[in-house]
Amino acid sequence: MIEMQVDGRTIEAGEGETILAALKREGIHVPTLCHMEGLPPSGACRMCVVEQEGTGALLPSCSYPVSPGMKVRTRSPKVLNARKTIVELLLSNHPDDCLYCVRSGNCELQRLAEAMGVRQRSLRGAKNHRPHDVSGAVVRDPDKCILCGRCVRVCEEVQGICCIDFVGRGCKTYIGTTFDQGLNVSTCVNCGQCIVACPTGALTEHSCLNEVVAALSDPDKVVIAQHAPAVSVSLAEEFGVPAGQDVDGKMVAALRLLGFDWVFDTSFTADLTIMEEGSELAHRIASGGVLPMFTSCSPGWIKFVEQFYPDLIPNLSSCKSPQQMMGAIIKSYFAEKENLDPKKVVSVSIMPCTAKKFESGRPEMGRDHTPDVDYVLTTRELGRLLRMFGVNLMGIEPQTADNPFGERSTAGKIFGASGGVMEAAIRTANFLLTGEELPKLDVLPVRGMKGRKELRAKIGDLEVGAAVVNSLSGARKMLDEIRAGRSDLQFIEFMTCPGGCINGGGQPIGIDPDAAKARMAALYKIDETAKLRVSHKNPYVKRLYDEFLGKPLGEKSHHLLHTKYAAREVL
């Protein structure tokens, strides 16, 4: 450790450490725009400059290393003027539509302008007028782009997709796609991580709020909501509550206040997924089927395989995702049970994921021109809907979800975290193959935010090699190993987003870097204290098979709950 002085205060820093890292550890705030925690610095925006005493030089703290005896000032007049000038330059050609922008009130550029005291336009530049891209689940408004590059970096360095990049040079630079085509024909997998990374409203999800509000107002429609496992531990953040608080019951009550006729829990069909996927894995092992089998719950991951690894499509489980399974049984079993016309049922899912919007529109996800799921709202959109209707989420009494699809095990609930699908599958696979429950249901090796986790699981006489991978750059490395001949794994859980659905592209956008960890911890806390912790003991799943589906992998199950995938051509 070496000593340096910051604003007259002596602190310690590691040799070779950046100034910004040392300052953050000491709780000294320095504003940034282009900086992304965990990735190498780009030093592009210069918002993080500090002044070096003696020389008066302005140093980019995100990329400049500390040195012994260094003295810097973080709030000198020269530093504050430089930062204010940067904000004024960014605002000089920025659209004046904050009143209509979805990020108003939660925009980093807006916050910086307020912090720097920018109250009038002192610099004026020519406005950008590039066409909006509304072709996919992710909507691009290039006019609001400030060229920080964070979307490019997360797409390339975290997800390994590379569907967007800098185009042009100098003042003509913009961020675009190959041949300036829409995201729908690019390699984009709709994960939405670029939306979360974007500091302004240049990237947003394709909103379905107007359609959902219209359906709720239509007396001829039966509007049914389902909510994903990760939503209940993140929705409260939309209302200023610290990350990790579970508001499951309050959310159910709020959805009823909005006018939804029925509210179901997608964790129920996560339990159903375990029954189908576990049976499919057992069948593949017994019959010499294609191994390793890949999970199919994450639609961004599915599109990734279809585009980049079409030769490995046979490894994908044929199971639909829990969202699509719920949509299918709502418009079949439930509609029949309640004597409803499926064409008058509006199925709305609330998801932490923007790729679910793309998934619901896939032509194979429905029957007789009726989609399994009509509309998908992100966690953020649900927050907007509640504010629109004046619902005070934190001030209402909790309620329970409706049956028959409101009862769930916590094995289904932990689907929202990376490793959750694997843990739920191991719990049930052990029972199905041995007739006995695991002596300890917690499968700790698959938990946590780590990008890859592997284990050897002993289930009866069978030893299963399993792996858990999150983020698509990590998935690429694993798939390359499979292509190269790796054969010691039988089952692999893949999640598109780092950390799983709790860190999905539709989740609240905030400044808490540990929000995903808090959400994950909340899911495991729910599991720790629950009575029903295994999917195969869910009484309503058993009832669904007895009354309607027959058995896992049966004819009706295969027709409603399974699908197929095909290779995709990309530019």
Phi, psi of 203 (to 5 degrees): -130, 125
Reading the block at residue 269, the tokens are 């069909």
Among the options 108, 205, 238, 280, which is catalytic? 280
Which of helix, strand or coil describes residue 390?
Answer: coil
Of 267, 296, 298, 317, which one is the catalytic site residue?
317
Beta strand pairing call for 203-205 and 370-371 = unpaired
Instruction: Write the DSSP string, 174-235.
Output: EEE-GGG--GGGSS-----HHHHH-SSSSEEE---HHHHHHHHT-TT-EEEEEE-TTTTTTG
> Of 359, 407, 423, 493, which one is the catalytic site residue?
359
Give the pair of three-digit tokens for residue 247: 């508001």
Q: Which of 237, 277, 306, 407 is an active site residue?
A: 277
Strand, coil or helix: 157:
helix
The structure tokens listed for 379 are 């966690």
- Structure token pair of residue 533: 């912790």
Catalytic residue among 250, 303, 331, 356: 356
Question: In terms of Cα–Cα distance, which of 209, 184, 193 is closest to 102?
Answer: 209
Query: Catalytic residue at 280?
Result: yes
Q: Decide if 94 contacts 144 (C-beta within 8 A).
A: yes
**Does residue 277 carry a catalytic annotation?**
yes
- What is the β-pairing status of strands 222-227 and 262-265? parallel
Asked if 359 is an active-site residue, the reply is: yes
What 3-state DSSP class applies to 349?
Answer: strand
262-265 and 293-294 strand pairing: unpaired
In whole angstroms, give the CA distance from residue 85 to residue 91: 10
Q: Quick check: is 15 catalytic?
A: no
In 3D space, the residue among 464, 497, 463 whose CA is nearest the CA of residue 297 turns out to be 497
Residue type for position 140: R
Nearest Cα to 60, choosing from 70, 73, 72, 49? 49
Which of 151, 163, 198, 501 is catalytic? The answer is 501
Residue tagged active-site, from 148, 191, 198, 297: 297
Cβ contacts of 481-486, under 8 Å, gap ≥ 24: 482/292, 482/312, 482/315, 483/309, 483/311, 483/312
Task: Give the type of residue at 375.
Answer: Y
148 included as an active-site residue: no
Which residue type sits at 335?
A
Catalytic residue among 364, 481, 547, 555: 364
Please indicate whether residue 356 is annotated as part of the active site: yes
For residues 15 and 26, the answer to whether their CB atoms sit within 8 Å is: no
Q: 285 — phi, psi (to 5°)?
A: -65, -45
- The three-state secondary structure class of 10 is strand
Q: Which positions are annotated as active-site residues? A: 277, 280, 297, 317, 356, 359, 364, 501
